[in-house]
Structure 1
Amino acid sequence: MQTKRTEVAVIGAGTAGMSAYRAARAGGKRALLIESGPYGTTCARVGCMPSKLLIAAAEAAHAVRAAPAFGVHPGPLRIAGKEVMARVRGERDRFVGFVLDGIEQIPAEDKLRGHARFLGPGRLQLDDHTIIEADSVVIATGSTPIVPDEWRRAGPRVITSDQVFDWTDLPDSVAVVGTGVIGLELGQALHRLGVRVTLFARGGSVVQLSDPLVREVAARALADELDIRFQTEIAALEADADKDGGQVALTSRDAAGNLRTERFSYVLAAIGRSPNVGGLGLESAQLALDRHGIPLYDKHTMQCGSSAVFIAGDADNERPVLPEAADQGRIAGDNAARFPRTQPGLRRTPLTIAFSEPQIAVVGASYKELCVSHSGRFAIGQVSFENQGRSRVMLQNHGMLRVYGEFGSGRFLGAELAGPRAEHLGHLLAWACQAKLTVAAMLDMPFYHPVVEEGVRTALRDLAHHLSKEPEEVCQDCTPGT
Structure 2
Amino acid sequence: MKMLSCDVAVIGAGTAGLAASAAAAADGAQVLLIEGGEPGTTCARSGCMPSKLLIAAATAAHCAGTSSVFGIQTAPLRIDGRAVMTRVRAERDRFVRSVLQSYQRIPESQRLVGTAQFIAPGRLQVGDGVQVTAKAIVIATGAYSAVPAMFDAVADCVLTHETLFERVMLPGSVAVVGAGPLGLELGQALHRLGVRTAIFDRGDRIGGLISDDLNASAARIYAASLNLRLGVELQAEPLAAGLRLHWQGPQQRGSADFEHLLIAAGRRPKLQPLALHNAGIALDAHGVPVYDRATLRCGDSAVFIAGDCNHDRPLLHEAADEGTIAGRNAAACPSGVQAHPRRVPLAITFSDPQIAIVGDVVTPGHVAGRVDFADQGRARVMNANRGGLKLYGDPADGRLAGAEMVGPAAEHLGHLLAWAVQQRQSVRSLLDMPFYHPTLEEGVRTALRDLCAQMPPSISSGYVQRVFGAGG
TM-score when normalising by structure 1: 0.93
1:408 CA drift (Å): 1.8
- SS of the equivalent of 1:386 reads helix
Matched, 1:460 2:448: yes
- Distance, in Å, in 2 between the alignment partners of 1:463 and 1:45 is 42
1:318-333, aligned counterparts within 5 Å? 318-333=312-327
Say which SS state the counterpart of residue 141 (structure 1) adopts: coil
Tell me the residue number matched to 1:356: 351
Aligned counterpart, 2:413 = 425
Q: Which residue in 2 is equivalent to 1:69?
A: 69
Q: Which amino acid aligns with 1:7?
A: D
Q: Secondary structure at the match of 1:216?
A: helix
Aligned pairs for 1:20-35 (under 5 A) are 20-35=20-35
Query: Is structure 2 residue 410 aligned with structure 1 residue 411?
Result: no
SS class of match (2:367): strand
Asked if 1:400 is matched to 2:388, the reply is: yes
Q: CA deviation at 1:402?
A: 0.3
For residues 42 and 16 of structure 1, the distance between their equivalents in structure 2, rounded to whole angstroms, comes to 10
1:228-253 per-position Cα deviation (integer Å, ceiling 9, x unaligned): 0011111x222211xxxx21111112
**In 2, Cα distance between the equivalents of 1:249 and 1:461?**
51
SS of alignment partner, residue 283 of structure 1: helix
What is the letter of the counterpart of residue 346 of structure 2?
A: L
Q: Deviations over 1:126-163 (max 9, x none)?
A: 12211110000000010010001231331321111111
Aligned residues between the structures = 458
The whole-number CA distance in structure 2 between the counterparts of 1:260 and 1:431 is 45
Aligned equivalents of 2:256, 2:17: Cα separation in 1: 42
Task: Give the equivalent residue in structure 2 for 1:208.
Answer: 208
Instruction: Give unpaired runs (5+ residues) of structure 2.
Output: 460-472
- The reply on whether 1:288 has 2:287 as its aligned counterpart is no
The Cα of 1:213 is off from its aligned counterpart by 1.0
Report the equivalent of 1:449: 437
Q: What do residues 349-401 of structure 1 show as CA deviations (whole Å, max 9, x unaligned)?
A: 100000001100000112xx31xxxx22x110000000000000000000110
Please give the alpha-carbon distance, in whole angstroms, between the structure 2 residues aligned to 1:175 and 1:24.
44
SS at 2:393 equivalent? strand
Give the partner amino acid of 1:124.
Answer: L
Match for residue 436 of structure 1? 424
Q: Which residue identity does 2:267 align to in structure 1? A: R
CA contact (8 A) 1:11 1:35 kept: yes
SS at match of 1:279: helix
Residue equivalent to 1:183: 183
Mapping of 1:70-219 within 5 angstroms?
Answer: 70-219=70-219
Listed one character per residue, the Cα deviations across residues 51-105 of structure 1 (whole Å, up to 9, x for unaligned) are: 0000000000000111100111111111000100000000000000001111110
Q: CA deviation at 1:280?
A: 1.4
Structure 2 Cα separation of the partners of residues 255 and 158 of structure 1:
27
Amino acid at match of 2:194: G
Measure how far apart 1:115 and its partner are. Answer: 1.3
Deviation of 1:201 (Å) = 1.1
Deviation at 1:219, TM superposition (A): 1.1
User: Which of 276, 292, 300 is the aligned partner of 2:294?
Assistant: 300
Uncovered stretches (5+) of structure 1, i.e. residues with no partner:
472-482
Paired residue secondary structure (2:154): coil
- SS of alignment partner, residue 29 of structure 1: coil
* Residues 327, 346 of structure 1: 8 Å contact kept: no
Deviation, structure 1 residue 259: 4.5
SS at match of 1:363: strand
The residue aligned with 2:463 is none
Q: Which amino acid aligns with 2:331?
A: A
Distance in 2, Cα, partners of 1:218 & 1:342? 43
Distance 2:44 2:156 in 1: 23
What is the CA deviation profile of residues 277-330 of structure 1, one whole-angstrom value per residue up to 9, with x for unaligned ones? Answer: 223121211111222111111111111111111000001100001000000000
In 2, the alpha carbon distance for the partners of 1:149 and 1:237 equals 11
**Distance between the aligned counterparts of 2:434 and 2:140, measured in 1?**
42
* 3-state SS of 1:356 partner: coil
Report how far residue 435 of structure 1 moved: 0.3
The residue aligned with 1:43 is 43
Change in CA separation of 1:36 and 1:178 when aligned onto 2, cut-off 3 Å: same
- Superposition CA RMSD, Å: 1.3
SS of the residue aligned with 1:396? coil
The one-letter amino acid of 2:149's match is D
Question: Which stretch has the larger CA shift, 279-288 or 324-333?
Answer: 279-288
- The TM-score, its normalising length taken from structure 2, stands at 0.95
* Equivalent residue, structure 2, for 1:475: none
Contact 1:351 1:362 in 2 (8 A): yes
Which of structure 1's runs of 4+ aligned residues deviate more than 6 A?
none
Instruction: Rate the CA distance shift 1:469–1:277 in 2: closer, same or farther, 3 A.
Output: farther
Aligned-residue offset at 1:469: 5.4
Does residue 275 of the first structure (1) align with residue 269 of the second (2)?
yes
In 1, Cα distance between equivalents of 2:297 and 2:179: 33
Whichever residue aligns with residue 237 of structure 1, its letter is: A
CA drift of 1:470 comes to 9.7
Moved more, 401-410 or 461-470: 461-470
SS in 2 for 1:324: helix
CA distance in 2, matches of 1:148, 1:65: 36
Give per-residue Cα distances to partners, 1:418-441, cap 9 Å, x unaligned.
000000000000000000111111
| Cross-structure match for 1:477 | none
Measured against aligned partners, the alpha-carbon deviations of 1:332-360 in whole angstroms (never above 9, x if no partner) come to 00110011111122411100000001100
What's 1:263 paired with?
A: 257
Residue of structure 1 equivalent to 2:465? none
What CA distance in whole angstroms lies between the structure 1 residues aligned with 2:304 and 2:353?
38
The CA distance in 1 between the partners of 2:150 and 2:447, in whole Å, is 46
User: Residue type matched to 1:132 in 2?
Assistant: V
SS of aligned partner of 2:438: coil
